[in-house]
Amino acid sequence: MIERLFKVNTEEYMLPGNRACQGCGLSLAYRYALKALRENTILTIPASCLTVLHGLYPTTSVAIPCLNCTFASTAASASGIVAGLSALNRSGITVVAVAGDGGTYDIGIQALSGAAERGTDFIFVCYDNEGYMNTGTQRSSATPMGALTTTTPLLTKQQNKKDMLKIMEAHDLPYLATTSPSYPIDLYDKFVKAKRIKGSRYLQISAPCPPGWGYPPKDTVKIGRLAVETGMVVLCEIEDGKFRLTGRSRSLAERGNRLPVSNYVERQGRFRKISEEQLSNLQRWVDNKWNEYLRRAEGS
């Protein structure tokens, strides 16, 4: 592992002094993602915490060119950049769209599905903090069951999280992967791989968010690890249809020592009103997904 760390790009593309909150999981992940993507990259991002992190024109905390687009149009914006580069005969530049779960699972899904169906040569990255965090923690279709948000203030969210990976996999993409900033080498390697592959690639980052999830900023890495240890988040990749568990999720599968979901839930204020029934529903949902992943991993 130490030897592997020395192979990580030492350039920094996230400059000191960005405007994300203390302990932001997105900013940890983004630093490693940009190191893997390197200079010959153009970003496009919609309204989100990431826009705030990038900063206000004419200053920015990110040393990679970036186009701000409207909420629904992230993947369409990327398609336009790809077409523009092609018209100018510019090759060797990776176009990367990055959006939150609101901008991916909900508002950006139509443009994303269109670009993926056309096989647009780009990477779409969803950082999933499980809510509309920039505007004050509203519920999204990525919010897990039992979480409190400002639009589910009394009864918590009643529905399970949408399976966006499955939706994107149905587009027959050459590469899809899930990542977490608590496992930076796994994340870095997947971004390096995605950059080498052609066609539409989809990467999902589980991005813990201290104010939205209700835990102290110092615990972001711990919370991200617990998400994986309990199976709430599963680290995997799908390359040309071949499914693989990676990193910590693979070793959990081999050793069979996954933790109960309650270990994850009890550390976050957003779950303070989860009922016993919801907690057992959540555990059942995680168990079913996990078993499905195990079957796929065994069959591949």
| Residues at the site binding ligand SF4, with contacts judged by CB under 6 A | 20-21, 24, 26, 49, 129, 133-134, 209-212
Q: How many CB atoms lie within 10 A of CB 88?
A: 8
Residue 146 interaction partner, one of ligand SF4, ligand TPP, none, beta carbon < 5-8 Å per kind: none
Alpha carbon of 297 to those of 117, 176, 181, 243, 293: distances in Å? Answer: 26, 15, 23, 6, 6
Task: Identify which of residues 134 and 149 has a Cβ nearer to ligand SF4 in the complex.
Answer: 134
164 binds ligand TPP (CB under 6 A): no
Token pair recorded at residue 262: 């309650």
Segment interacting with ligand TPP (CB under 6 A) among 16-24, 48-56, 143-151, 266-274: 48-56
At closest approach, how far in Å is the CB of 184 from ligand TPP?
20
Determine if 132 is a binding residue for ligand TPP (CB under 6 A).
Answer: yes
Neighbours of 230 (CB within 10 A): 21
Q: Which is nearer to ligand SF4, 94 or 180 (CB)?
A: 180
Residue 79 vs 134, nearer CB to ligand SF4 = 134
Helix (H) or strand (E) holding 42: strand 41-45
Dist. CA 168–CA 214, nearest whole Å = 30
Query: Cβ closer to ligand SF4: 102 or 247?
Result: 102
CB of residue 104 vs ligand TPP: minimum separation in angstroms?
7
Closest CA to 265 of 255, 252, 275, 254: 275
Q: CA of 91: how far to CAs of 76, 205, 298, in Å?
A: 19, 27, 39
> Which of 55, 121, 68 lies closest to 99, judged by CA?
68
Peptide bond into 174 cis (omega under 30): no
Residue reference for tokens 């693989």: 244
Q: Which of 27, 48, 73, 182 binds ligand TPP (CB under 6 A)?
A: 48
| C-alpha to C-alpha distance for 207 and 220, rounded to whole angstroms | 9
What is the widest separation between alpha-carbon atoms in the chain? 59
Does position 47 interact with ligand TPP (CB under 6 A)? The reply is: yes
- Residue with smaller CB distance to ligand SF4, 143 or 278: 143
Query: Is residue 29 part of the contact set for ligand TPP (CB under 6 A)?
Result: no
Binding partner of 102, given ligand SF4, ligand TPP, none, CB within 5-8 angstroms per partner class: ligand TPP
Instruction: Between 210 and 247, name the residue whose CB sits nearer to ligand SF4.
Output: 210
What residues between 67 and 106 interact with ligand TPP by CB under 6 A? 71, 99-103
Of 78-86, 134-142, 150-158, 250-258, the segment contacting ligand TPP by CB under 6 A is 134-142
Question: Which among ligand TPP, ligand SF4, none contacts residue 211 (Cβ within 5 to 8 A by kind)?
Answer: ligand SF4
Q: Are 242 and 205 in contact (CB under 8 A)?
A: no
How far apart (Å, rounded) are the C-alpha atoms in residues 27 and 91? Answer: 29
140 is a site residue for ligand TPP (CB under 6 A): yes
Tokens representing residue 285 in the block = 């949902």
Q: Which is nearer to ligand SF4, 134 or 268 (CB)?
A: 134
* Vertex 28 angle, CA 181 and 85, to 5°: 95
Site for ligand TPP, rule CB under 6 A: 47-50, 71, 99-103, 129, 132-135, 140
